[in-house]
Amino acid sequence: MSKGLVIFGTGKIAEVIYYYATEECGFKVAAFAIDEQYKKENTFLGLPVVNFSDIEKYHPAGTFDMFVAVGYHDLNALRENKCKETIAKGYKLVSIISPNSKVPKNVTMGHNCFIMPPAIVHPCVKLGNNVFIWSGSIVGHHSIIKDNCWLTSGCNISGNVTMGENTFAAINATIGHSVTLGKECFIGANALVIKNAEDGQVFIAESAKPLKVNSKQFLRFSSFSTL
């Protein structure tokens, strides 16, 4: 008999995880857990919300596994620490990998990983613990994504890349072939990184500057409306 699942978190991330866990991955979610000081309600998505401090009383580790579904706060350190606390309580942390992502069989990964379709992960990739990969991202062959990383939708990770622990890559960020990133790097939206990066480096792409005309004026002198 398979174990039930408890999801830590009651926010938007937890809601997304719940969808894929139940609709695509076949998990039977029994409850959500949260730290008592952040508990605002007794139910979430129709299921009970229990205090993490005494979760063992209601959903013991021998019967239930867990998944930590919180965001990238403090460069994923909050999620990392909660994973450690969960393991210390004796729970197994599962990974939630949509079968629609069609991850190759020789991809290795640790616990508490999440892959949302239609992400593309090439063969010979290694994912550490607690790695989140959102829709539309590509992880190229022989790349290594170390523990506690977060790839937002549309990231492009070229082949043979090494991404250090607790690194965050925002939407449409691109990492060039064979680039090595240190730990705790922040790669902003649309940023392109083609050289190795040290620990804690930040890469931000300049935002597009607005034109001095408004949208109606732009349409009058452009050919956009004829397309």
Q: Which domains does the chain have, with CATH numbers?
A: 4-94 (3.40.50.20), 100-203 (2.160.10.10)
Helix (H, G, I), strand (E, B) or coil at 84: helix
Model confidence over 67-126: pLDDT tens digits? 999 999 999 999 999 999 999 999 999 999 999 999 999 999 999 999 999 999 999 999
Average pLDDT over residues 175-181: 98
Q: Which long-range contacts (CB under 8 A, 24 or more apart) does 9-13 make?
A: 9/33, 9/34, 9/68, 9/69, 9/70, 10/34, 10/38, 10/39, 10/40, 10/41, 10/44, 10/49, 11/69, 11/70, 11/71, 13/69, 13/70, 13/71
Strands 43-44 and 29-34: unpaired
Model confidence over 6-38: pLDDT tens digits? 999 999 999 999 999 999 999 999 999 999 999
User: Cα(4)–Cα(33) distance, rounded to whole angstroms?
Assistant: 13
| pLDDT value of residue 1 | 45
Model confidence over 43-58: pLDDT tens digits? 999 999 999 999 999 9
Is it the case that residue 175 has pLDDT exceeding 90?
A: yes
In contact, 7 and 30? CB cutoff 8 Å: no
Report residue 227's pLDDT band, with 50, 70 and 90 as the boundaries: low
Is it the case that residue 211 has pLDDT exceeding 90?
A: no
Percent of the chain with pLDDT over 90: 89
Is it the case that residue 204 has pLDDT exceeding 90?
A: yes
| pLDDT value of residue 115 | 98
Please tell me what DSSP assigns to residue 91: P
